[in-house]
A and B are shown apart, each in its own frame.
Chain A
Amino acid sequence: MNKILSVKNLTKRYRNGITALSNVSMEIEHGEFVAIIGSSGSGKSTLLRCINRLIQPTEGSVEFDGSDICKLSSAELKKIRRKIGMIFQHHNLVNSLTVIQNVLHGRLGYMRTIPAVLGLYSDSDRRKALDLLEQTGLNSFVTQRAGELSGGQQQRVGILRALMQNPMLMLCDEPIASLDPHSAKLVMGLIKQLTVERGITCIVNLHQVEAAVRYATRIIGLDHGNIVFDDTPDKLTDDIIRKIYGGNPHDLIIGGKMHEGTEAQELVS
């Protein structure tokens, strides 16, 4: 029963009057696989980004590892972010660097500036990256340019990058939205493995309700910035799905709508 993340009354209002999140509260426990579902504009992206303060919340608190992220100084924030890994819909790898260089980027938060800038990763770091790549079956791509890999492979590299941070928590923003079904299965399986085998808590934004039901231990449904469902997958009824998505559940299983607009996104460093 140990909490890892405690979100209280999180609200995000933009300058143009749009309220993306309204009084969102949730408590996540160690080792959970939480899927957040909701239609475009429901606030999924905003919620995820408020947790590691990529977006600055207007009100509320986010307690993680003993501190309120919303109140941390810039330097402390960077330290805490090391413990939170994040993967993105578009993988966000540096395409012109090799796969292993991208994976090693996960260690940058722990390294001192000069070695980091010069790319002088320690031998143990390099070995760990190589091991991770082997375990995921990507060891034939080690020195290949990241941009040459397929979408599914790139996403897995992204996960490994986050893993190199030794995170306690993983935030996954629509990780399979741009992937074909087979790659999607590999990626979701990998994320599930993280929770089960390594005890890393994962919060995953998903469009695909079916994937959420199949992999998650807990589902949170968002609608227009409010939580309308927070329970185990078996309690998710068609009625609730209809309320969240405003349509017939069976029409929604196949593939995602576009990524939510993030025009007013503020990157806080």
Chain B
Amino acid sequence: MTVKHEGARVERRTKIQINNPSSFRNVKLFFLGFFLLSFASLLFLELDLAKVAARLPKMGNVLSRLAILSFDKLDILLKATAESVSVTVLSVFYSIVPSMILGAFMASNIIGSRAARAVISWICSIIRAIPTTVWVLIILACLGFGPAAGIIGMCFHTLAFLARAFQQSFENVPEGNIEALKSGGASRVRIFFQAILPGALSNMISWCAIRFESNFSESTILGMVGAGGVGYTVMACMNGYEYGRAGTAVLVILLLSFGLEALSIRLKKNI
């Protein structure tokens, strides 16, 4: 009996394991932790799903009224759209050059001092951590209303984001290009303009395209907190029960957003 027992025990111990123990465990742990936390979150939130279910017809109502597009006062809508687009364009445009400078100062293949890079990196992280909308609110509080506030506000976040993105692009330029110039005795500035910048250019354009998409999205949201633009049109129209016009505005947002997405996909492929 004991022999059989031992035999069985030995059998079980030698069951051949086919998984990679460490990485498999990590993935399992991650999913477990994530789902547990999320379940806890769901329970923690006071989700009144019953109320939502009860009011579902009302949402259908709202959606259907939004769908009945009204082309009244189209000029206001177009003006608001132009404003949002302008804010998007300018916030990216004016961030490009400062970001290049900041990004250059953070890149490990341009600046040697780890401490200096770390400091700038931290500052950028903190700026980036504050959502764009919050930045705009700050600027609005200090400089008053208007699209200019929106532009400046968005510039802060966009700058920090692009600086980090450009840093990556700069660091990804192959060593070879840089070494060739270094061995010829070129100054750091020259190396930057002749080797690093051209090498990172296509990458940088991609990042700008990504920013265009995000910033347009942000600029529409800004309207809802008071900086003008299409978002404001949506809010004002819905508050005034002019659902048709609001629907048209949402459609405009959707179409432009689609367009920007398609543009950035095209840019990414071409380059």
Q: Which residues of A contact B15 (CB under 8 A)?
A: 123, 126
A88-133 with Cβ < 8 A to chain B: 97-98, 100-101, 104, 119, 121, 123, 126-127, 130
| 4 additional A-B residue pairs with CB within 8 Å, beyond A126-B16, A143-B20 | A98-B18, A100-B18, A143-B18, A144-B20
Asked if B185 is an interface residue, CB under 8 A from chain A, the answer is no
Chain B nearest CB: distance from A143 CB in Å? 5
Asked if B23 is an interface residue, CB under 8 A from chain A, the answer is yes
Q: Which residues of B contact A100 (CB under 8 A)?
A: 16, 18
A128-145 with Cβ < 8 A to chain B: 130, 143-145
Q: Which residues of B contact A130 (CB under 8 A)?
A: 16
Are A127 and B16 neighbours in the complex by a CB distance under 8 Å?
A: yes
B22 — nearest CB in chain A belongs to which residue?
A143
Asked if B184 is an interface residue, CB under 8 A from chain A, the answer is no
Docked Cα-Cα span, A143 to B17, in Å, equals 8
- Binary contact track B1-38/A, C-beta < 8 Å → 1, others 0: 00000000000000111111101000000000000000
Q: Which residues of B contact A127 (CB under 8 A)?
A: 16
Docked Cα-Cα span, A145 to B21, in Å, equals 10
Q: Which residues of B contact A98 (CB under 8 A)?
A: 18-20
Docked Cα-Cα span, A101 to B23, in Å, equals 14
Docked Cα-Cα span, A100 to B17, in Å, equals 9
Chain B nearest CB: distance from A124 CB in Å? 10
Are A104 and B18 neighbours in the complex by a CB distance under 8 Å?
A: yes
Q: Which residues of B contact A97 (CB under 8 A)?
A: 20
Q: Which of B16, B19, B23 contacts A123 (CB 8 A)?
A: B16
**Count of A-B contacts judged by CB separation below 8 Å:** 26
Are B20 and A121 neighbours in the complex by a CB distance under 8 Å?
A: no
Question: B-side interface residues toward A, CB under 8 Å?
Answer: 15-21, 23
Chain B nearest CB: distance from A121 CB in Å? 7
A104 — nearest CB in chain B belongs to which residue?
B18
- Binary contact track A9-38/B, C-beta < 8 Å → 1, others 0: 000000000000000000000000000000
Are B18 and A101 neighbours in the complex by a CB distance under 8 Å?
A: yes
Q: Which residues of A contact B17 (CB under 8 A)?
A: 143
B27 — nearest CB in chain A belongs to which residue?
A96
Q: Which residues of B contact A143 (CB under 8 A)?
A: 17-21
The 9 A-B pairs at the shortest CB distance, nearest first, are namely: A126-B16, A98-B20, A100-B18, A101-B18, A143-B20, A145-B20, A130-B16, A98-B18, A98-B19
A154-212 with Cβ < 8 A to chain B: none
Chain A nearest CB: distance from B7 CB in Å? 14
Q: Which of B18, B20, B21 contacts A126 (CB 8 A)?
A: B18
Are B20 and A119 neighbours in the complex by a CB distance under 8 Å?
A: no
Docked Cα-Cα span, A144 to B19, in Å, equals 9
Docked Cα-Cα span, A104 to B20, in Å, equals 14
Can you list 5 residue pairs at the A/B interface with Cβ under 8 Å?
A: A98-B20, A100-B16, A121-B18, A126-B15, A145-B20
Q: Which residues of B contact A126 (CB under 8 A)?
A: 15-16, 18
Chain A nearest CB: distance from B9 CB in Å? 15
Q: Which residues of A contact B20 (CB under 8 A)?
A: 97-98, 143-145
A130 — nearest CB in chain B belongs to which residue?
B16
Q: Which residues of A contact B21 (CB under 8 A)?
A: 143
Chain B nearest CB: distance from A17 CB in Å? 27
Are B19 and A101 neighbours in the complex by a CB distance under 8 Å?
A: yes
Docked Cα-Cα span, A136 to B15, in Å, equals 21
A98 — nearest CB in chain B belongs to which residue?
B20
Docked Cα-Cα span, A121 to B20, in Å, equals 16
